[in-house]
Amino acid sequence: MEMEDVDDIFAVACYDEIWTHMSITVKNREDVIKYVESALTLKKAGVEFPFVIIDAFTNKIIGATKLMDINEHHKRGEIGFTS
């Protein structure tokens, strides 16, 4: 996941149904920018690893997910929510 992915992520994340049972809501492009900026900040800190999901046939972004709460000392992490 990189900042240049914002428009492609928004194109697939703008459906309200996706966010029905999530702890965050994406309603506009600015929400996606905040989400990606936050994810990249936490990646730089070494506690999350966000990435986009790419369709193998179309080579287009179809979603995003992340590994989170990464703990090097205990060698563990959690699968974050996927959108």
pLDDT tens, per residue, the chain with 83 residues = 999 999 999 998 877 777 777 777 778 899 999 999 999 999 999 889 999 999 999 999 999 999 988 888 998 888 876 76
Name the burial class of residue 66, with classes exposed (0-12), middle (13-18) and buried (19+) by CB atoms within 10 angstroms of its CB: buried
What would the two tokens of residue 39 be? 């994810």
Predicted TM-score of the model (pTM): 0.82
Task: Name the residue ranges covered by the structural domains of the chain.
Answer: 3-79
Q: CATH number for the 3-79 domain, one of 3.40.630.30, 3.40.50.360, 3.40.50.300, 3.30.1490.20?
A: 3.40.630.30
